[in-house]
A and B are shown apart, each in its own frame.
Chain A
Amino acid sequence: MSTQSPHIEALIKKEYQHGFVTDIKTDTVPPGLDEDTIRFISAKKQEPEWLLEWRLKSYRHWLGMQEPDWAHVKHKPIDYQAISYYSAPKSKDDGPKSLDEVDPKLVETYNKLGIPLQEQMMLAGVAVDAVFDSVSVATTFKAKLAEAGVIFCSFSEAVREHPQLIKQYLGSVVPTTDNYFAALNSAVFTDGSFCYIPKDTRCPMELSTYFRINAANTGQFERTLIIAEQGSYVSYLEGCTAPMRDENQLHAAVVELIALDNAEIKYSTVQNWYPGDENGVGGIYNFVTKRGDCRGVNSKISWTQIETGSAITWKYPSCILRGDNSVGEFYSVAVTNNYQQADTGTKMIHLGKNTRSTIVSKAISAGHAQNTYRGLVKIAKSADNARNYTRCDSLLMGDQCGAHTFPYIETKNASAQIEHEATTSKIGEDQLFYCKQRGISEEDAINMIVNGFCKVVFKELPMEFAVEAQKLLNISLEGAVG
């Protein structure tokens, strides 16, 4: 983030000042989930009747579902009645007054990442009164996007302003009945982002920079919907390299991407939520449903993810390759340290002819962590000449951690060509020796080797984030090797 322009920093400021406008006392519901809670959320959001019905339908379906237990993770049962499903942002007055009051470990991490002081305060939730002329910046951004015809706004705003688009596409990729957490999200989601790229438009900016500020507080049940019309292109980055403190333990987001003819969506994620302490106490449960639908011919959806945070990560960004000649990509680096658990991977569902998919997954496991790749490559009977390449590598650091690979390959078409390769090993003693012999410290040597291991994924990230992601990786693995 040190590479950012003053404009962006200014914008960060703006978000903090104006982000929390709603009245706190009336906006929080007591913990518990029933139809009234959902009606309350819907009413708060001033949603149309059909959306409330949609939520209620999801909720009723959810009631009949069982929490899945097939993932290779262990956690205490979640009490869904103990969660408050709608709470406004915390009051500024409750937050720390200055960085001195913030957990010094957190500040240390910020400094290592090279995050500017102002932004540090924003991330740590410190009340800051410094004034920047930010309105104009935001307006410039908005004007630029509006000029291109791109709609980019919060989900609730989209429900009000563009109900026809929401009605047409919401739940069309991830149906409300898809899985336990998607159903729960459909019932209680509070906000999220909406993005619409019109026909033959190349989104004039990486939505990453904008988003980083815009979505600072979307709550634990987030909903994202991105629609790329024919011939359009958008690059979108979610998350932030800086660690985020968050009181909500369960996060169950849903992300839906729709790419029509010749459209391309590039979706990058950097996830660094609180992973719990060294003894595995606390930390976020991140149970996310992400799916992209290559609906049109020659469309392309590319997922890139850097997962370093959360106590438990459980997600499979997927591509449905429906259109002929469509392309799906999945690049992932998942790092687990201490007692973190990650069960992540992708699904590539080939339906159209000449569809191609690439999966590159790099897992690094240290401490007592468990890291699992779980993937599905499915070639339907209709998918002539489908092609898939999968590579999963795991790096183990320390003798208490685990790395697992569970790839499912299902082929119903003889013209398909599928390759899957996986390796698991620890850092080569000879490589370490080579570096140390040349005067490179062990820690630096390991960082170099790990970064080399992940390079193929990092190069898929927008540039500035690639730099940060590398730093983040080094921090996440600090002390992993003795």
Chain B
Amino acid sequence: MSQSAIEHYTSEFDRLQSGYTAWLNPQRQIAIETLQQTGFPNLRQENWKYTNIGPITKRKFITAGANFNGLTPAQLDGVRFSETDCHELVFDNGNYSASLSTLHELPEGVIIQSLSEALTDNRTVIEPYLNRYAKSDEDGFVALNTAFLESGAFIFIPDNVCIEEPVHLLFLANKQPQAFVAHQRNLLVLGKNARVTVIESYVGFDEAEYFTNTITEITLASGAALEHYKLQQESQRGYHIGKLYAHQQRDSRVESYSFSLGGALVRNDIQIDLAEHGAGVSLNGLYIASGRQHIDNHTRVNHTKPHTSSEEYYHGVLDGSARGVFNGKVIVHKQAQKTDAHQSNKNLLLSDNAEVDTKPELEIYADDVKCSHGATVGQLDKTMLLYLRSRAIDEETAKSLLIFAFVEEIIKRIKFMPIRKRMEAIVVGKLPDANLIREFMQ
């Protein structure tokens, strides 16, 4: 199956390559060759043990083109954060749309533009950072992404500049005559003491059938700070493979929030390199799946230098026949003394057909460290249910309240209020007795 998919993407590559920015062609060529050699990951590979990507390789997704049905204004408005002025880059079914995007005035030196434009306009700025952390030999999806590297967003914040308005990247898909694939590559470069909030929204409408293959590469110079949100609400027939790489220099800080709510088959990979003293990362995640959804979260934090810290909180709620996978890896390298690393993964199983596979890993080569991890799988606490029931709250509502409380532990960590409100609304909307819960919340 993998072989026919490789042939399919090779022919797409031959068809489209001439239209792409020329100076990247050698890198694309190497990537497609790597894909031909290594193929797509399979269940025998430790990193893909629990996720069968068969549904993706068996479909012949055509590469997103310009002749697609466009988005409706209503669809766009639903995803926007209208209460705040955001810089918005809108990707309409895989293609950057300048007319739908909004960019406010920017401080000097700041670049926010689509990657395809930036490849031409700002080649010298981009070249040192592009493909630095996403290596084609990691797996077939990275190779595939690099082979079709053209679309995406480029954000460059120079030294000592703080962007107050969040940058919102909207990757939206609606129903097309044919199932399609969008390869997106986002590049974020933060200079010394630079500061920015970036939101990536992936939303699919009308049961659209498509495949999002996205990579975000982030470089933080010393003292830089990034708040990064990923809101994944792909359609029920959408497939999503997303990777995030962050390389952090001295005293830089990343706060990552990853929410996986949609998609038929979803895989999120986060790789953080704490490469210099004092770098810190906080990873927060929430996955809520039902029906036959499959959501896989892999995180990997490399502590390579002393005095680095990481914390990780991922919660999952699985209902129906959904399957959740979590793998959190913390590696403390030899010199990385005084590392502080904590990780927790909690899972709530609501149905007998739901499944969760979790694997928190610690790999430690230094001695003066404080590392811990915890993982739990369970149901709603019976004593808590009893407490609520004995106060005349019916079982359904009591359950909903407890599920909400479980999810809220992650949601309340969100700093950007419009997202927090939206997440709460979405979660409540998924629960039975939504109206009652809303009353309780007030």
Say whether A424 contacts B359, CB under 8 Å. Answer: no
Is B371 an interface position by the 8 A CB rule? yes
Is A141 an interface position by the 8 A CB rule? no
Say whether B356 contacts A423, CB under 8 Å. Answer: no
The one of B352, B367, B368 in contact with A413, judged by C-beta atoms closer than 8 angstroms, is B352
Give the interface residue-count category, chain B: 35 or more
The one of B368, B370, B373, B377 in contact with A411, judged by C-beta atoms closer than 8 angstroms, is B377
The one of B46, B350, B375 in contact with A407, judged by C-beta atoms closer than 8 angstroms, is B375
Is A402 an interface position by the 8 A CB rule? yes
Say whether A414 contacts B371, CB under 8 Å. Answer: no
Is A422 an interface position by the 8 A CB rule? yes
Residue of A nearest to B341 (CB): A424
Listed residue (A412, A414, A423, A425) with the most chain B CB atoms within 10 angstroms of its CB: A414
Is B434 an interface position by the 8 A CB rule? no
Say whether A426 contacts B372, CB under 8 Å. Answer: no
Q: A-B contact count, CB below 8 Å?
A: 107
Chain B residues, Cβ within 8 Å of A423: 371-372
Contacts A408-B357, A410-B357, A411-B356 given: A403-B378 contact, CB under 8 Å? no
Residue of B nearest to A425 (CB): B370
Residue of A nearest to B354 (CB): A414
Is B379 an interface position by the 8 A CB rule? yes
| CA gap between A400 and B367 in the complex, in Å | 8
Chain A residues, Cβ within 8 Å of B362: 394, 403-405, 422, 424
- Count the A residues whose beta carbon is within 8 Å of the partner chain — how many? 35
Chain B residues, Cβ within 8 Å of A422: 360, 362, 372-374
Say whether A420 contacts B367, CB under 8 Å. Answer: no
Is B337 an interface position by the 8 A CB rule? yes
| CA gap between A356 and B172 in the complex, in Å | 47
Interface residues of B in 267-315 (CB under 8 A from A): none
Is B363 an interface position by the 8 A CB rule? yes
Is B81 an interface position by the 8 A CB rule? no
Q: B308: shortest Cβ distance to chain A, in Å?
A: 15
Is A421 an interface position by the 8 A CB rule? yes
Say whether B355 contacts A405, CB under 8 Å. Answer: no
Residue of B nearest to A370 (CB): B365
Q: A407: shortest Cβ distance to chain B, in Å?
A: 6
Residue of A nearest to B372 (CB): A423
Say whether B367 contacts A396, CB under 8 Å. Answer: yes
Is B364 an interface position by the 8 A CB rule? yes
Chain A residues, Cβ within 8 Å of B388: none
Is A197 an interface position by the 8 A CB rule? no
| CA gap between A414 and B323 in the complex, in Å | 12
Interface residues of A (CB under 8 A from B): 70, 379, 381, 394, 396-426
> Can you show 29 pairs from A to B with CB atoms below 8 A apart?
A394-B362, A396-B364, A399-B337, A399-B366, A404-B361, A404-B363, A405-B360, A405-B362, A407-B361, A408-B357, A408-B359, A409-B357, A409-B375, A411-B347, A411-B356, A411-B357, A413-B352, A414-B349, A414-B354, A415-B379, A417-B379, A419-B375, A419-B376, A420-B376, A421-B372, A421-B374, A422-B373, A424-B362, A424-B372
In the complex, given contacts A381-B352, A412-B355, what are 12 additional A-B residue pairs having Cβ atoms less than 8 angstroms apart?
A: A404-B361, A413-B349, A415-B379, A417-B379, A419-B375, A420-B360, A420-B375, A420-B376, A421-B373, A423-B372, A424-B362, A425-B370
Interface residues of B (CB under 8 A from A): 46, 50, 334, 337, 347, 349-352, 354-379
